């Protein structure tokens, strides 16, 4: 039986792949030349979240009371509710002449009002390098482990396809973070790893169906098989993306300022991940000349 | 796939109930048996301070190397090896020997048994020291494993002292753990301002009493500037007593001028030595050295044989209290420095809990509504599976007494979003099977479950791989995210494979001929 499907995805592969290639290149250029806005977790430095009681304190007052202390590169911004500020500065290591206690006392005296230091984080240079390395290691290991799993469960062509899709997702997510100068910290690494997991999940569902259909309709070529498989799994792809996005938007809008970056990265990743499992992972199988024979070989081997 | 024996149904719900019942433990006041288990709130939610301390091993290396100088010289003489230009640097001993004697030197220096100079560390399969030979000059320094070994033992000693110092401040339930070979992780729940604890941990508190001499020669003596009077004094290197000889120390006010002082009590050995030294040196001065600083050098007026003494030094009462605390808890073998610090105030923690709970609730409701609209009766089944999934997840977290962090809550919300995926895969597959000609309800449902389960497994295992790796390499709050996500995936599989399958078959057998799924 051969059914007419509503969407002809395969005909859009060329266009989609050109867009993907362009976005990936743009992301590489952005990450290389504009760079990523690393937070203190990876760069080292100090972060303070504070709340001032008085209405008369402006962001300028806060900036000047910190800049007097010569703490290196300083960044002050409003954060969440009115009167809440997030301050980041370069100084990583403290001593008897300059430390958190002195900073807190001086700032409180300068502002001449009650200051509630709600959060203080300080990451030294050694730790930040280690955190960055272990973050990169974690992402690479996760990719490697999945590559291996897919290779065992499917064929090498599928493994290559899914990894390309994941690279695509991670790269473009980083590109967007670079473009918007959003902060990359530990929770973004967690988000990226979850995106990796989610995108893989999506790809596996489609690949599973392609594999099944390859042995079912041996007369059809891979493009037709891809189109059938994508269409068959489409409603699942859409529904799962919708429920996941519902949960993520609720974190993004209601989960407080600390989870904003994390949930934003996840939202971007889920959208790109869904797109890539259709428009990146599937076409790769075509380029690698996958056919029912690929599957047959596997069966013979067993 | 759709037939459930009574015994199977019984076990499915037994597992479900016995795991999810632990949720209740978090609300119960009973603190006995299994009900004592509760989910802990991470520092980011309950407020508190996280400090990562690193042992500075360079003074340790120096001291350890210096302790080897005399035995090494003895051993060289014993083996009749002539050495020239013996030099001691901070991290290296060096000397010249003749070419013929290098083998002899190597023989005793790299000897695995009874080697009291260069210990062989079985654990690392390496010696404490390495030596290099550059033009007959022997250079001895710590091997990599030797440094790790020094650090490890310093950390092990320090942990106990860190704990005592923190306990003295009255902090409740601190967690003090070893991290790697040279770090200590300190978590202080509820501590809003860790400055005082940092101050206390920043001092090694190595105390020693030494005699002030009139002899000005460099050999065997060292000079100090007295902290209270800025006077320069020459002190003999010979130690009379150290902080190790102390059994107690308390802040006091001096009877004569009401100045804050520290009164100490010595152990037996300490009392003996102190008694001997003070009775032999009446009229002379004794210097009190703390962390390479001379705090005071009082004149000995009388022999002190009772093992009781005092330390004065222009202290404020706070300083005397701190010094007494440090002396009571013992000296750290090496200085500790804070390499990472994260402190969250209690009000921010409370805000985060509220935000987390609200977003969890809203996300949950949205997903539930969406599923009912999309799948009607089966949406309700998916939702029951989702709720039982959540209950099991919370029960599991309670059972292992996991620490819930803000990213951990995000992990739960994400599980809610992704958990329905398993059910969606099943239902969509069943719908497809129903569309095929000449297939009846039961066949379609059966096939639907059979075929989708492979996909569900593949898809969830890949995500599980990512979250386990995140757990291993993640740090702090991120670990909490990995924990909830991993457990969430496992409970998702259980609830989709057993609970929703059972409920579906239940509905199916009630409505055998009806058209299900419109």
B344 bridge partner residues: A119, B48
Look at residue B340 and give its three-state secondary structure.
strand
CB atoms within 10 A of CB A90: 14
Task: Identify the helix (H) or strand (E) that includes residue B45.
Answer: helix B43-46
pLDDT on residue A297: 65
- Distance, CA of B225 to CA of B232 (rounded, Å): 5
Sheet containing B175-179: which strands, arranged edge to edge? A74-78, A84-89, A45-52, A115-123, B336-344, B48-55, B183-189, B175-179
Chain B residues closer than 8 Å to A119 by CB? 342-345, 348
Q: How confident is chain B (518 residues) per 10-residue block, as mean pLDDT?
A: 86 92 83 78 91 89 87 88 86 88 86 83 88 90 91 91 90 90 92 87 90 80 85 89 91 88 92 92 91 89 87 88 90 91 92 91 94 92 94 93 87 82 91 80 88 88 86 77 90 91 89 74
| Distance, CA of B466 to CA of B488 (rounded, Å) | 13
**Domains recognised in chain A with CATH numbers:** 10-39+127-301 (1.20.1640.10), 45-123 (3.30.70.3400)
Q: Does residue A81 have a pLDDT over 90?
A: no
Nearest partner of B162 among B154, B140, B455, judged by Cα:
B154
d(CA B294, CA B287): 7
Task: State the Cα–Cα distance between residues A87 and A81, nearest whole angstrom.
Answer: 15
Q: What is the pLDDT of residue A162?
A: 93
Question: Residue A27 CB: number of other CB atoms within 10 A?
Answer: 21
Q: Which helix (H) or strand (E) holds B319?
A: helix B317-329
- Among all residues of chain A, which has the CA nearest to that of B427? A236
User: What's the CA gap between B398 and B34, in Å, rounded?
Assistant: 10
* Per-window interface: B 416-435 vs A, CB < 8 A: 416-418, 420-421, 424-425, 428, 432
- Angstroms from B463 CA to nearest CA on chain A: 4
**Using CA atoms, how far apart are residues B42 and B406, in angstroms rounded to an integer?**
8
Burial class (CB in 10 A: 0-12, 13-18, 19+), B136: middle
Distance (Å, rounded) from C-alpha B8 to C-alpha B505?
13
| B457 in reach of chain A (CB within 8 A) | no
Question: A1 falls in which pLDDT band (50, 70, 90)?
Answer: very low
Comparing CA positions, the residue from B248, B247, B239, B250 lying closest to residue B274 is B239
Cβ–Cβ below 8 Å for A197 and B359: no
Q: Say if B347 is an interface residue toward chain A (CB within 8 Å).
A: yes
Q: Are A186 and B477 in contact (CB under 8 A)?
A: yes
| Cβ atoms < 10 Å from Cβ of B506 | 13
Facing residue for A119 by CB, picked from B344, B413, B414: B344
Strand A45-52 to A115-123 pairing: antiparallel
> Which tens digits make up the pLDDT trace of A95-147?
888 889 899 999 999 998 889 999 999 999 999 999 999 888 888 888 888 88
Q: CB–CB of A200 and B466 under 8 A?
A: yes
Give the residue extent of every domain in chain B. Answer: 6-47+346-510, 58-147, 207-310
Size of interface A-B (CB pairs under 8 A): 206
Beta carbons of B474 and A138 less than 8 Å apart: yes
Residue of A101, A121, A239 lying closest to B342 (CB–CB): A121
List the single best residue of B417, B434, B450, B457 to mutate versus A (max A Cβ within 10 A): B417
Say how far apart CA A127 and CA A133 lie, in whole Å. 10
What CATH topology corresponds to B6-47+346-510? Multidrug efflux transporter AcrB transmembrane fold (1.20.1640)
Neighbours of A109 (CB within 10 A): 10
Shortest Cα distance, chain A CAs vs residue B152, angstroms: 19
pLDDT in tens, A35-76: 999 999 999 999 999 999 888 888 999 999 999 999 999 999
Beta bridge partners of B265: B248, B308
DSSP bridge pairs for B54 = B183, B337
Inspect the interface and report whether the beta carbons of A239 and B462 lie closer than 8 Å.
no
Complex prediction ipTM: 0.89
Q: Do strands A183-184 and A37-38 pair parallel, antiparallel, or not at all (unpaired)?
A: parallel
Q: Backbone phi, then psi, for B319, in 5-degree steps?
A: -65, -40
pLDDT digit string, tens, across residues B348-359: 999 999 999 999
Residue B343's nearest CA partner among B79, B131, B85, B50 is B50
Which residues on A lie below 8 Å from B343 (Cβ)?
117, 119-121
Q: B6 to each of A168, B212, B389, B446, how far by Cα in Å?
A: 49, 89, 22, 19
- Minimal Cα distance from B463: which residue of A? A197
DSSP SS3 for A4: coil
Q: 0.95 exceeded by the pTM?
A: no
The reply to whether B348 touches chain A by the CB within 8 Å rule is yes
Give the fold, CATH level 3, of B207-310. Gyrase A; domain 2 (3.30.1360)
Average pLDDT over residues A2-24: 85
Closest CA to B389 of B354, B421, B355, B428: B421
Position B437 scores a pLDDT of 66
| Cα Rg, chain A, nearest whole Å | 25
């Amino acid at each position: 039986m051969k059914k007419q499907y509503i969407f002809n995805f395969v005909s859009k592969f060329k266009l989609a792949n050109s867009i993907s290639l362009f976005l990936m290149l743009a992301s590489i250029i952005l990450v290389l030349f504009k760079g990523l806005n690393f937070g203190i977790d990876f760069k080292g430095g100090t972060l303070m979240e504070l709340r001032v009681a008085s209405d008369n304190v402006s962001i300028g007052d806060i900036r000047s009371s910190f800049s007097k202390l010569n703490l290196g590169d300083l960044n002050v911004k409003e954060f969440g509710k009115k009167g809440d500020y997030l301050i980041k500065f370069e100084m990583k290591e403290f001593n008897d002449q300059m430390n958190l206690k002195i900073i807190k006392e001086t700032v409180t005296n300068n502002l001449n009002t009650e200051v509630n230091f709600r959060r203080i984080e300080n990451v030294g240079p050694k730790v930040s390098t280690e955190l960055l390395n272990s973050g990169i290691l974690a992402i690479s290991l996760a990719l490697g482990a999945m590559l291996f799993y897919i290779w065992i469960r499917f064929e090498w062509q599928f493994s290559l396809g899914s990894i390309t899709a994941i690279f695509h997702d991670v790269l473009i997510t980083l590109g967007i973070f670079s473009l918007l100068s959003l902060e990359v910290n530990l929770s973004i690494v967690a988000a990226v790893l979850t995106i990796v997991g989610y995108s893989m999940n999506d790809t596996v569902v489609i690949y599973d169906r392609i594999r099944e259909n390859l042995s079912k309709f041996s007369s059809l070529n891979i493009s037709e098989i891809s189109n059938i498989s994508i269409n068959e799994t489409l409603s699942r792809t859409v529904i799962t993306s919708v429920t996941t996005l519902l949960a993520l938007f609720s974190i993004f809008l209601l989960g407080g300022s600390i989870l904003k970056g994390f949930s934003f990265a996840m939202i971007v990743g889920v959208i790109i991940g869904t797109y890539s499992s259709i428009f990146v992972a599937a076409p790769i199988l075509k380029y690698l000349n996958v056919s029912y024979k690929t599957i047959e070989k596997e069966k013979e081997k067993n | 796939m759709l037939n459930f024996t009574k015994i199977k149904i019984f076990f499915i719900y037994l597992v479900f109930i016995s795991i999810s019942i632990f949720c209740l433990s978090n609300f119960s006041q009973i603190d006995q048996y299994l009900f004592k288990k509760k989910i802990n709130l991470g520092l980011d939610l309950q407020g508190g301070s996280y400090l990562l301390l690193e042992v500075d091993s360079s003074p340790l290396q120096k001291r350890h190397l210096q302790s080897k100088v005399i035995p090494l010289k003895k051993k060289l003489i014993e083996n009749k090896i002539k050495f020239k230009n013996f030099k001691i640097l901070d991290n290296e001993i060096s000397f010249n020997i003749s070419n013929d004697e290098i083998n002899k030197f190597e023989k005793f220096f790299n000897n695995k048994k009874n080697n009291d100079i260069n210990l062989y560390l079985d654990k690392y399969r390496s010696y404490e020291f390495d030596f290099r030979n550059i033009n007959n000059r022997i250079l001895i320094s710590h091997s990599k494993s030797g440094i790790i070994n020094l650090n490890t033992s310093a950390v092990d000693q320090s942990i106990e002292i860190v704990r005592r110092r923190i306990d003295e401040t009255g902090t409740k339930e601190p967690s003090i753990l070893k991290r790697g070979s040279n770090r200590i992780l300190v978590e202080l729940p509820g501590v809003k301002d860790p400055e005082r604890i940092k101050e206390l941990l920043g001092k090694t508190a190595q105390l020693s009493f030494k005699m002030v001499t009139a002899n000005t020669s460099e050999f065997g003596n060292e000079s100090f500037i007295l902290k209270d009077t800025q006077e320069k004094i020459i002190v003999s290197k010979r130690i009379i007593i150290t902080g190790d000889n102390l059994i107690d120390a308390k802040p006091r006010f001096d009877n004569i001028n009401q100045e804050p002082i520290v009164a100490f009590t010595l152990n037996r050995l300490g009392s003996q030595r102190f008694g001997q030294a003070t009775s032999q040196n009446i009229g002379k001065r004794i210097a009190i050295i703390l962390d390479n600083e001379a705090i005071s050098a009082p004149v000995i007026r009388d022999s002190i044989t009772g093992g009781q003494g005092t330390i004065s030094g222009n202290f404020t009462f706070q300083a005397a209290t701190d010094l007494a605390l440090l002396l009571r808890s013992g000296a750290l073998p090496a200085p500790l420095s804070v390499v990472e610090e994260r402190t969250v105030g209690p009000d921010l923690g409370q805000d985060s809990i509220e935000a987390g709970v609200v977003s969890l609730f809203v996300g949950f409701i949205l997903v539930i509504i969406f599923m009912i609209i999309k799948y009607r009766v089966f949406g309700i089944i998916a939702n029951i599976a989702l709720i039982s999934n959540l209950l099991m997840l919370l029960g599991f977290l309670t059972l292992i007494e996991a620490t819930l962090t803000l990213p951990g809550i995000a992990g739960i919300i994400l599980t809610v979003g992704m958990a329905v995926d398993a059910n969606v895969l099943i239902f969509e597959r069943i719908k497809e099977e129903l569309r095929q000609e000449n297939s009846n309800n039961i066949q379609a449902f059966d096939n639907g479950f059979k075929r989708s389960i492979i996909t569900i497994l593949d898809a969830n295992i890949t995500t599980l791989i990512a979250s386990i790796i995140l757990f291993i390499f993640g740090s702090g709050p991120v670990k909490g995210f990995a924990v909830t996500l991993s457990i969430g995936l496992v409970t998702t599989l259980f609830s989709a494979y057993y609970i929703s399958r059972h409920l579906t078959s239940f509905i199916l057998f009630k409505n055998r001929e009806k058209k299900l799924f419109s």
